[in-house]
Amino acid sequence: MTDHYPEIGIDYQKDVKIDKHHLDDELVSQSSKMVEYTKYYAQSMFDTRQAEKTLKVVQDDLKNVYSELDGEARKTPPPTDLAKQTDESIKQWVYRQQKYRAVQQKVYDTMDTLNKCQYKSDLLFGPVMAFNVRGKNSLPELVRLFGMAYWSEPRLEGRGLAPDIAQADTERAIMQGPPVIPLTQPVAMPEPKVHQPVYRAPPMAPPPGIPKSPPLRRPTPKTTE
């Protein structure tokens, strides 16, 4: 059976990847890549169906050869290399015949070809589905992020691209100077405490007409002789 495409020599893993820095090229090539891999997958499915048909044909040929040799073994006289005409002996005799073995080898070869075709179909199914998701979801989403400047780098006015965000913030802070924090409300300052002198009223004089009481004298202690 002819292999219509290389032994998966196409670098499908490389083709599926998206270069986010060249989204225009990726969008342009998306359709052609999708068509290319769909064609590969369709060819692999065709080869698989052809191998299945061929296998059925050679299996039928093997059955026909077995029936033919089984009939020869049951004739009288039997073949010289057949010891006795029992079912088991006839079966083993048929298996040893070159005609049967040749058709049996064709069956094995066709089964091997079918397995390879199925393997290629399974292998190409992944890239086809990946390109489907690539065109419907991945590329539109990346274009949306690009429009939002998702991959943009910080810039300083008149200084070009900043190599590092932290450095850019530092230089911006140096140029702007320390921040000025406005006071939204006046701060109430506490009033200084003033110590008022304590007022003491002078002693009141007795009203007129009332004699002044004599001053108190300490009694003199008596002395004993």
Q: Give 60-114 pLDDT, tens digit per residue.
A: 999 999 999 988 888 877 787 787 888 888 888 899 999 999 999 999 999 999 9
- Sign of the torsion angle spanned by Cα atoms 25, 30, 31, 36: positive
d(CA 110, CA 47): 12
Residue 160 phi/psi, 5-degree rounding, is: 75, -155
pLDDT at position 214 is 62
Nearest Cα residue to 93 out of 113, 69, 115: 69
| List of E strands, 41-194 | 155-156, 160-161
Are 65 and 103 contacting, i.e. CB atoms less than 8 angstroms apart? yes
What angle in degrees, to the nearest 10, is found between the helix axes of 87-96 and 23-73? 130
DSSP track, 105-120: HHHHHHHHHHHHHHHH
Q: What is the pTM of this model?
A: 0.56
pLDDT tens sequence across 29-67 = 888 888 888 998 999 999 999 999 999 999 999 999 999
The whole-number average pLDDT for the span 25-32 is: 88
> CB-based contacts of 165: which residues, under 8 Å, 6+ apart?
154
Nearest Cα residue to 97 out of 60, 61, 72, 77: 72
Residue 194 phi/psi, 5-degree rounding, is: -110, 125
Tell me the domains of the chain and their CATH numbers.
18-140 (1.10.287)
**In the block, which residue shows the tokens 């052609």?**
32
Above 60 in pLDDT, residue 208?
yes
**In the block, which residue shows the tokens 């020869």?**
72
| List of E strands, the chain | 155-156, 160-161
Above 60 in pLDDT, residue 4?
no
pLDDT tens sequence across 160-200 = 554 555 565 666 666 666 656 555 556 566 666 666 666 56
Query: How does DSSP classify residue 138?
Result: I
The dihedral region occupied by 149, where left means phi > 0, alpha psi between -120 and 50, and beta the remainder, is: left
Locate 31 and state its tokens. 């359709």
